[in-house]
């Protein structure tokens, strides 16, 4: 069993870096005065709205996360910190849609009601499996947001560029914390952790997939997703490398687990 103090120290390292280097202010750090409504397009609105919907399931994400982590101080406090940081993401997307004029208050009210009419369910059962999922999902989200930051830069949308820069930096930090959790898990139970990681990779999907109507189509319209190939080469393989494992080890551990179960 991993000593709880190790999770606490991992969280304190995460929190110190966040406090000293990564905090941002939605009111002061995003250049809202540089919005250019004349460049608005419905394609851009759909793209940002889809991201916003995925971020708006925060109450569901947090409810499940707090319940799962509440007995481990460092992980529970990471969950509450994560929730605060994620709350800014949905707010930034929402404010962008409203301040740019791409959506009215009435339109967003209907969009919000539709979003909250469905609930997100945790895709895996254990804390370790969800740490595997978090490491991959946050990395995939960072990659998608990094691509959108670069696109906003090319389109000379300074406001959206800043939004994706700050949000993407948060997502990268979150992925890093989950990898730290997995490093502790691997040191404690290598074969079990590798087996969980292999299972999560095999069954991975983004939170909005199957939850948000027309999710994949809307991402394709806006060029907002990442391909399965990019997910594998830019999220899965680097995660395996950072954890000191490989595809071969995943296959070997999985084969042993299947053999033991048969």
Q: What is the mean pLDDT of residues 27-50?
A: 92
261 band by pLDDT with thresholds 50, 70 and 90: low
Average pLDDT for the chain: 94
Please report the beta strands in the chain, taking only residues with DSSP state E, as ranges in sequence order. Answer: none
**pLDDT at residue 112 above 90?**
yes
* Cβ partners under 8 Å of residue 107, min gap 6: none
| Confidence at residue 163, expressed as pLDDT on a 0 to 100 scale | 98
Q: What's the CA gap between 248 and 225, in Å, rounded?
A: 28
Mean pLDDT, rounded, for 191-210: 96
Phi-psi region of 3 (alpha: psi -120 to 50; beta: other; left: phi over 0): beta
Phi, psi of 135 (to 5 degrees): -60, -40
Residue, of 221 and 109, whose pLDDT is higher? 109
Q: Which residues contact 41 (CB under 8 A, 6 or more apart)?
A: none
| pLDDT band of 253, cuts 50, 70, 90 | confident
The CATH homologous superfamily for domain 4-14+38-261 is: Ribonucleotide Reductase, subunit A (1.10.620.20)
Mean pLDDT, rounded, for 42-70: 95
Q: What is the mean pLDDT of residues 241-247?
A: 95
pLDDT the model gives residue 259 = 63
pLDDT in tens, 115-157: 999 999 999 999 999 999 999 999 999 999 999 999 999 989 9
Task: Check whether 83 has a pLDDT greater than 80.
Answer: yes
pLDDT above 60: residue 262? no
3-state helix, strand, coil in the chain (%, to 5): 75, 0, 25
Higher pLDDT among residues 254 and 148, named by residue: 148
Residue 111 near residue 148 (C-beta atoms within 8 A): no
User: How many Cα neighbours within 13 Å face the side chain of 127?
Assistant: 16
Cβ-contact 101, 37 below 8 angstroms? yes
- The fraction of the chain above a pLDDT of 90, given in percent, is 87
**Distance between CA atoms of residues 153 and 148, nearest Å:** 8
Integer Cα distance of 207 and 227 in angstroms: 16
Q: Is the pLDDT of residue 22 over 70?
A: yes
Specify the pLDDT at position 254: 81
Residue 258 has pLDDT above 80, yes or no: no
Q: What is the pLDDT of residue 188?
A: 97
């Amino acid at each position: 069993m991993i000593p709880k103090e190790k999770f606490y120290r991992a969280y304190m390292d995460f929190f110190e870096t966040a406090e000293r280097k990564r905090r941002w202010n939605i009111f002061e750090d995003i250049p809202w005065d540089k919005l250019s409504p004349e460049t608005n397009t419905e394609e851009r609105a759909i793209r940002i709205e889809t991201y916003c919907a995925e971020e708006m399931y925060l109450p569901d994400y947090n409810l499940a996360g707090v319940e799962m982590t509440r007995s481990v101080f460092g992980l529970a406090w990471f969950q509450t910190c994560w929730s605060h940081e994620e709350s800014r993401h949905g707010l930034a997307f929402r404010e962008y849609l409203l301040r740019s004029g791409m959506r009215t208050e009435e339109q967003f009210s209907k969009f919000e009601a539709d979003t909250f009419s469905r609930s997100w369910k945790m895709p895996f059962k254990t804390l370790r499996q969800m740490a595997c999922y978090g490491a991959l999902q946050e990395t995939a989200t960072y990659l998608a947001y990094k691509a959108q930051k670069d696109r906003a830069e090319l389109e000379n949308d300074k406001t959206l560029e800043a939004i994706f820069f700050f949000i993407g930096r948060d997502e990268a930090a979150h992925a890093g914390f989950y990898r730290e959790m997995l490093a502790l898990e691997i040191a404690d139970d290598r074969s079990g952790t590798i087996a969980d990681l292999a299972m999560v990779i095999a069954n991975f999907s983004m939170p909005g997939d199957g939850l948000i109507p027309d999710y994949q189509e809307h991402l394709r319209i806006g060029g907002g997703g990442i391909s399965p190939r990019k997910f594998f080469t830019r999220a899965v393989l680097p995660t395996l490398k950072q954890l000191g494992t490989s595809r071969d080890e995943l296959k070997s551990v999985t084969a042993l687990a299947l053999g033991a179960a048969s």
